[in-house]
């Protein structure tokens, strides 16, 4: 049953992710992204990581994709006609596809994947809110702090780059 | 896990100094100095920033060695040397920034440089995949913003966008590689991963993970074939940002990835010391190094723009540095550290000269440097030191850097294997590189100035920074043990 659910959600996620890439309409692509995230959340549930699945649905599927849709509608992008393939670009695509194909082929031909050399099973951090929060503020204290400063730097950058040139401000 | 919060705080005092400095700069600029001119605000921000960097350097110098917070960070000799090098290069970048025209948001620029430096410091010491990725992203994100800081020139926006798109892609590859490693070993701590991989042979999944991490490394190092962003970013970004991207970012990136590859993947390194070496990541790095040397040096020959020339020279130097990383298994990190640090000094200096020369007019083409010796003898002299060091002329530091890296590579197995061949290729291409470096010097030292070219006044702080950089290059070249003695 677990294997069946994994296959189901994995296939669902892959198909939806493909839809994000090939869809010409930006709104449809965003909706496909939403479905792909739901599929990933399903995979998390299959791993007993209920909290992560919940957070993924709440933050990404709920907030981030909604923001994407807002921005797409604000910019009013139409499904634009794609430029025809140039000769060089076609050759490059074929080459890249052949490279990936060869890699996958050799991967399957020699597919004696070793059993993951996992250590003693650690508690699933994403299972329970209390454990998750405890880990976040003890073991992973430093990464959380670094993310804080990363967001601060990003915010500074957004403000500086997106602020309109103001003639009055530039005058000495 | 041993959670020693006091120890963590002690170990992070350098980063804390930088971040506190950045916050003070932002606070003062928003409150007291709001009505001042951009030049005054820039100078104030630069002075506070320089104090923060000096405080951080003092903390680095007196920090105790050893793992911190259960091995999240490792403060070893390489970490200390890299942190000192990064802080020194940041200080010189401030000198470059003081020579360039003040941007519209001077305080934000200095604060973001300090955030980037914080990321570099963490990269130098990170021993955990999660922290390594976040430190890299903190630094990269700050650098993307800095590349697009000049809103008056569309080239700057183009540079930022290209850098961001390439960097985002590389970060995605790195994260995918890291997650595969976590899946294979069940750990994100470097020592545990190394212990797990010791029993594992080179499985297909591990190869995929290795390739993905290698892609991100190639991007960070601007090594071919992941180099395409470098010429546009060096050309379009504001001069001080380009100086930081070319120097401190390189040094920290090489330390991070050398630690990652040797500490984590040491068991699957393979071998390049004989013609029939074992498979592993070393042969792949050797190929990237050879391609970088060829593309960098031959690409630089065709350039007429100084900054693009410096970018292609950076790609060629990345190839030499990768050779140093290959040799680090036998010779230790000292050769590539010495190379990266002295290369950073020379590049920051060259960008500093460009920044000062731009005060008197545009300085994009090589011919814009014509007659620099008449317009400002000091500038021409400093440029000669930097460019000759990049070319590897004794007694400057660039010569000894090349010497120590190439001899370490030749000691790996002589001319019997790819490492030795690579060293010979690098030596031959260094001779070729002399041509395009001398083209710059010919314009600066021999050619006559344009009739309407005015003398260039060098501001005092920029003069200090340039003379300091040139002096350090001579000093480290004459007495390399000053840097090598850190190990």
pLDDT digits (tens, 9 = 90+) for A151-162: 999 999 988 888
Give the mutation candidate from B136, B173, B204 for the A interface (greatest A CB count, under 10 A): B204
* Rounded distance between C-alpha atoms, residue A11 and residue B55, angstroms: 54
Q: Does the beta-carbon distance from A140 to B205 stay under 8 Å? A: no
CATH of the domain at A44: 1.20.120.1200
Same-domain pairing of A3 and A59: yes
Q: How far apart are CA B67 and CA B74, in angstroms?
A: 4
- Could you write out the DSSP letters of every residue in B22-59? HHHHHHHHHTTTTTS-HHHHHHHHHHHHHHHHHHHHHH
DSSP state of B414: G
Residues of chain B with pLDDT under 50: none
Q: Write out the residues of chain A at the interface with chain B, using a CB-CB cutoff of 8 A.
A: 103, 106-107, 110-114, 116-119, 122, 138-143, 146-147, 149-150, 152-154, 156-157, 159-161, 165, 169-170, 172
DSSP symbol at B103: -
C-alpha angle with apex B308: A162 to B159, nearest 5 degrees?
15
For the cut 50, the answer to whether the pLDDT of residue A168 exceeds it is no
The verdict on residue A169 lying in a domain is no
Same domain, B155 and B291: no
Identify whether residues B71 and B2 lie together within a single domain: yes
Question: Residue B239 is part of which domain span?
Answer: 1-249
Lowest mean pLDDT among A81-85, A93-97, B4-8, B270-274: A81-85
**The model's pTM:** 0.92
Residue B405 lies in a domain: yes
Best CA proximity match to B68, nearest among B22, B124, B151, B138 = B124
Are residues B409 and B448 both part of a single domain? yes
Measure the CA–CA gap between A67 and B143, rounded to whole angstroms. Answer: 26
Asked if the structure places residue A172 within a domain, the reply is: no
- B193: CB partners within 8 A, 6+ apart: B129, B181, B185, B187, B264
Does residue A172 register a pLDDT over 80? no
Q: Which backbone phi and psi does B77 adopt, to 5 degrees?
A: -65, -40
Q: What is the interface pTM, i.e. ipTM, of the complex?
A: 0.89
Examine the pLDDT at A119 and tell me if it is beyond 60.
no
> Which of A47, A78, A109 is the last residue before a domain boundary?
A78
Token duo for residue B151:
């809103």
What is the DSSP code (8-state) at residue B73?
A: E
What residues of chain B lie within 8 A of the CB of A106, using their CB? 204
Q: Which of A78, A107, A141 is the last residue of a domain?
A: A78
Number of domains chain A contains: 2
Q: CA A162, CA A167: separation in Å to the nearest integer?
A: 15
Is there a domain that residue A32 lies in?
Answer: yes
| Cα–Cα distance for residue pair B60/B17, rounded to 1 Å | 11
Q: Which residue of B has its CA nearest to A165?
A: B151
- Are A5 and A64 in the same domain? yes
Residues 6+ apart with CB under 8 A from B22: B49, B52, B110, B111, B112, B114, B115, B118
Q: How many structural domains is chain B composed of?
A: 2
Instruction: Let me know whether B283 and B398 are in one domain.
Output: yes
Q: Which domain holds residue A68?
A: 1-78
- Same domain as B151, residue B70: yes
Instruction: Look at residue B255 and tell me if it is in a domain.
Output: no
In a shared domain, residues A74 and A3: yes
- State the nearest Cα–Cα gap between B183 and chain A, in angstroms: 7
Q: Tell me: the pLDDT tens digits for B255-281? A: 999 999 998 888 888 888 777 777 888
Q: Say if residues B348 and B243 touch (Cβ distance below 8 Å).
A: yes
B112, B186, B208 ranked by CB distance to A157: nearest: B112
Which residues 77-116 of B have a C-beta within 8 angstroms of A?
A: 104-105, 108, 111-112, 115-116
| Same domain? B287 vs B239 | no
Rg of chain A over all Cα atoms, to the nearest angstrom: 22
């Amino acid at each position: 049953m677990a294997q069946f659910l994994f296959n189901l959600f994995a296939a669902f996620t892959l198909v939806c992710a493909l839809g994000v890439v090939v869809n010409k309409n930006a709104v449809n692509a965003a909706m496909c992204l939403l479905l792909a995230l739901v599929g990933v959340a399903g995979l998390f549930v299959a791993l007993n990581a209920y909290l992560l699945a919940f957070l993924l649905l709440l933050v990404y599927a709920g907030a981030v994709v909604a923001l994407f849709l807002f921005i797409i509608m604000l910019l009013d992008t139409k499904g634009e006609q794609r430029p025809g393939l140039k000769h060089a670009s076609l050759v490059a695509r074929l080459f890249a596809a052949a490279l990936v194909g060869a890699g996958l082929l050799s991967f399957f031909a020699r597919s004696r994947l070793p059993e993951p050399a996992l250590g003693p099973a650690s508690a699933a951090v994403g299972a329970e809110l209390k454990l998750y929060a405890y880990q976040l503020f003890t073991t992973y204290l430093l990464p959380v702090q670094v993310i804080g400063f990363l967001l601060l730097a990003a915010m500074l950058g957004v403000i500086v780059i997106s602020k309109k040139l103001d003639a009055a401000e530039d005058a000495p | 896990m041993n959670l020693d919060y006091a120890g963590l705080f002690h170990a992070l005092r350098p980063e804390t100094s930088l971040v506190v400095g950045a916050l003070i700069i932002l606070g003062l600029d928003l409150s007291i100095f709001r009505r001042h001119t951009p030049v005054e605000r820039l100078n104030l921000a630069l002075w506070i920033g320089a104090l923060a960097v000096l405080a951080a350097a003092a903390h680095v110098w007196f920090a105790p060695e050893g793992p911190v917070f259960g091995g999240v960070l490792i403060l070893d000799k390489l970490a200390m040397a890299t942190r000192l090098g990064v802080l020194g290069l940041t200080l010189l970048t401030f000198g470059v920034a003081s020579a360039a025209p003040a941007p519209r948001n001077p305080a934000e620029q200095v604060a973001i440089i300090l955030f980037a430096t914080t990321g570099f410091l963490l990269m130098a010491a990170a021993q955990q995949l999660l922290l390594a990725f976040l430190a890299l992203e903190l630094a990269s994100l700050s650098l993307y913003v800095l590349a697009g800081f000049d809103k008056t020139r569309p080239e700057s926006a183009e540079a930022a966008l290209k850098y961001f798109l390439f960097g985002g892609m590389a970060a995605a590859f790195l994260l995918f590689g890291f997650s595969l490693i976590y899946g294979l070993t069940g750990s994100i701590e470097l020592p545990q991963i190394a212990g797990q991989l010791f029993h594992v042979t080179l499985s297909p999944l591990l190869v995929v993970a290795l390739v993905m991490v290698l892609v991100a490394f190639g991007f960070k190092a601007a090594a071919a074939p992941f180099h395409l962003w470098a010429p546009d970013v060096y050309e379009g970004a504001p001069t001080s940002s380009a100086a930081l991207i070319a120097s401190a970012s390189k040094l920290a990136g090489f330390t991070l990835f050398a630690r990652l590859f040797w500490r984590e993947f040491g068991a699957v390194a393979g071998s390049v010391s004989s013609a029939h070496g074992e498979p592993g990541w070393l042969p792949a790095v050797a190929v990237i190094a050879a391609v970088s040397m060829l593309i960098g040096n031959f690409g630089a020959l065709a350039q007429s723009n100084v900054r693009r020339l410096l970018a292609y020279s950076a790609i060629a130097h990345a190839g030499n540095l990768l050779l140093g990383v290959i040799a680090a298994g036998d010779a230790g990190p000292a050769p590539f550290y010495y190379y990266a640090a002295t290369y950073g000094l020379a590049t920051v200096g060259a960008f500093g000269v460009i920044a000062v020369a731009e005060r008197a007019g545009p300085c994009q083409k090589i011919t814009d440097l014509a007659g620099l010796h008449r317009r400002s003898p000091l500038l021409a002299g400093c440029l000669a030191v930097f460019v000759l060091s990049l070319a590897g002329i004794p007694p400057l530091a660039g010569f000894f850097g090349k010497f120590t890296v190439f001899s370490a590579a030749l000691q790996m197995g002589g001319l019997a294997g790819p490492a030795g061949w690579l060293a010979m290729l690098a030596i031959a291409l260094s001779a070729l590189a002399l041509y395009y470096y001398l083209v710059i010097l010919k314009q600066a030292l021999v050619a006559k100035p344009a009739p309407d070219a005015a003398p260039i006044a060098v501001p005092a702080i920029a003069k200090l920074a340039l003379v300091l950089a040139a002096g350090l290059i001579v000093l480290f070249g004459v007495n390399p043990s000053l840097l090598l003695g850190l190990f």
